[in-house]
């Protein structure tokens, strides 16, 4: 795969139909992409502004579009919220274990508890990961997810040094969420979609404020709800597997509504970021043969508003790498410019859609 097949770039106004398509396919709970044209247009406008502004406050949301350079179609989107819970609190349940011991009864028990917390307030949040099913087994989702981390690293002053991501939890065929039914519903007397409609897009912290601040003792929950803690909705399995590979901590936090895992980690500890280097790009000769041994690399240019990222097989050394003309053009770079590059542990065969 010597030439870039996929390109990640900032969302533009023209991407609204693609956003609508992905929002319509979103399960309940993916509220960062509301299934509403006006709300999506507003979200898109916020993103365009976020990439453009020199005066970042932390309130920004950055949306990225993934293009198939062959068809020109947008096949995926992803995003970054600069600061989780900006201007409000960001709630999570923190998994804790307490050991109770009775010497006289000769019993020691390890009790799983969930503590409502604001630990992840102000961390940078990875949001809105969606990809066309046809490309799920290609390199495209790797680019769609991991390039965000390089963007954060490249523009670190706009973000937290800690990154988190929520993953959708399990529900049944009717949209009933066992964790919500056992915990949230007790305090609201209504199902989760109803609560979402009632809150009218307000901060989720608004709901959390109504929940008891004391810990939830997991053994007291119905078995179905206990089992749902930290479990994934099928649509979340692919993006979660990428986050897992990055080295995110997956055990500490869960979503307060559906019990899905909320991962978090220091940015510098993540695989793509820790292995990234700034390299000078050289142009390969037009008649140069492909090097099948060249490593697969995730590349981003250094621009914010003109952000571009792709994945290619590219030979190089400690200070430079060689790209063909088409890849340089896709990244909007001239020979001699610098890219942030990180190796990607995938075989070249995975570069094509399934």
Name the one residue in this structure whose structure tokens are 């007291």.
220
The question of whether 233 is a catalytic residue gets the answer yes
Q: Does 227 bind other proteins (CB under 8 A)?
A: no
Q: Does 210 bind other proteins (CB under 8 A)?
A: yes
Classified as helix, coil or strand, 15 is helix
Residues 48 to 87 in contact with other proteins, rule: CB under 8 A? none
Q: Cβ of residue 341: shortest distance to other proteins, in angstroms? A: 49
Site string for other proteins, 174-203 (x = CB under 8 A): --------xx--xxxx--------xx----
Q: Closer to other proteins at the Cβ: 64 or 192?
A: 192
Q: Cβ of residue 218: shortest distance to other proteins, in angstroms? A: 9
Q: Does 157 bind other proteins (CB under 8 A)?
A: no
Residues 236 to 275 in contact with other proteins, rule: CB under 8 A? none
Q: Cβ of residue 214: shortest distance to other proteins, in angstroms? A: 4
Site string for other proteins, 284-323 (x = CB under 8 A): ----------------------------------------
Q: Cβ of residue 217: shortest distance to other proteins, in angstroms? A: 5
Q: Cβ of residue 219: shortest distance to other proteins, in angstroms? A: 4
Q: Does 215 bind other proteins (CB under 8 A)?
A: yes
Q: Cβ of residue 115: shortest distance to other proteins, in angstroms? A: 9
Q: Does 335 bind other proteins (CB under 8 A)?
A: no
Structural contact between residues 38 and 46, judged by C-beta atoms closer than 8 angstroms: no
The CA-atom distances, in angstroms, between 172 and each of 183, 234, 280 are 16, 11, 50
Q: Closer to other proteins at the Cβ: 115 or 266?
A: 115
Structural contact between residues 184 and 204, judged by C-beta atoms closer than 8 angstroms: no
CA distance 24 to 27: 8
DSSP codes, 61-127: EEEEEEEETTT--EEEEEEEESSTTTTS---EEEEEEEEEEETTTTEEEEEEEEEEE-TTTTSEEEE
Q: Closer to other proteins at the Cβ: 57 or 217?
A: 217
Structural contact between residues 261 and 184, judged by C-beta atoms closer than 8 angstroms: no
Site string for other proteins, 102-141 (x = CB under 8 A): xxxx-x-x-x-x----------------------------
- CA Rg, the chain, in Å? 22
Q: Which of 221, 263, 300, 321 binds other proteins (CB under 8 A)?
A: 221
128, HSE (Cβ side, Cα atoms, 13 Å) = 30
Neighbouring CB atoms inside 10 A of 241's CB total 13
In the beta sheet, which residues pair with residue 117?
A: 92
Structural contact between residues 125 and 69, judged by C-beta atoms closer than 8 angstroms: no
Which stretch of DSSP H or E encloses residue 343?
A: strand 338-343
* Catalytic pick among 49, 115, 155, 233: 233
Structural contact between residues 57 and 51, judged by C-beta atoms closer than 8 angstroms: no
The catalytic residues are 233
- By the criterion CB under 8 A, which residues form the site for other proteins? 100-105, 107, 109, 111, 113, 182-183, 186-189, 198-199, 206, 209-212, 214-217, 219-221
């Amino acid at each position: 795969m010597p030439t870039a097949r996929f390109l990640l770039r900032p969302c533009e106004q023209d991407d609204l139909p693609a956003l609508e398509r992905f929002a319509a396919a979103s399960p309940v709970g993916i509220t960062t992409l509301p299934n509403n044209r006006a709300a999506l247009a507003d979200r898109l406008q916020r993103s365009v502004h976020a990439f453009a502004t020199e005066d970042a406050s932390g309130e920004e949301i950055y949306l990225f579009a993934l293009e198939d350079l062959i068809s020109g179609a947008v096949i995926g989107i992803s995003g970054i919220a600069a600061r989780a819970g900006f201007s409000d609190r960001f709630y999570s349940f923190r998994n804790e274990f307490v050991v109770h011991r009775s010497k006289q009864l000769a019993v020691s028990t390890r009790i799983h508890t969930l503590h409502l917390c604001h630990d992840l307030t102000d961390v940078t949040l990875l949001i809105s990961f969606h990809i066309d099913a046809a490309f799920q087994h290609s390199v495209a989702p790797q680019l769609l997810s991991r390039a965000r981390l390089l963007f954060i690293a490249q523009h670190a002053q706009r973000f937290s040094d800690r990154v988190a991501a929520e993953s959708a939890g399990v529900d049944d065929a009717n949209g009933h969420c066992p964790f919500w039914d056992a915990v949230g519903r007790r305090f609201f007397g209504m199902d989760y979609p109803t609560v979402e409609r009632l809150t009218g897009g307000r901060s989720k912290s608004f709901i959390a404020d109504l929940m008891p601040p004391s810990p939830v003792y997991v053994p007291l929950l119905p078995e179905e709800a206990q089992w749902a803690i930290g479990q994934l909705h099928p649509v979340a399995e692919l993006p979660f597997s990428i986050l897992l590979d990055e080295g995110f901590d997956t055990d500490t936090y869960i979503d307060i509504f559906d019990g899905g895992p909320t991962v978090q980690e220091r940015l510098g500890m993540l695989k793509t970021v820790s292995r990234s280097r700034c390299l000078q790009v050289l142009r390969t000769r037009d008649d140069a043969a492909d090097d099948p041994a060249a490593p697969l690399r995730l590349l981003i240019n250094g621009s914010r508003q003109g952000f571009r990222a792709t994945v290619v097989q590219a030979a190089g050394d400690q200070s430079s790498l060689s790209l063909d003309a088409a890849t340089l053009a896709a990244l909007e770079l001239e020979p001699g410019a610098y890219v942030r590059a990180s190796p990607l542990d995938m075989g070249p065969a995975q570069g094509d859609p399934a």
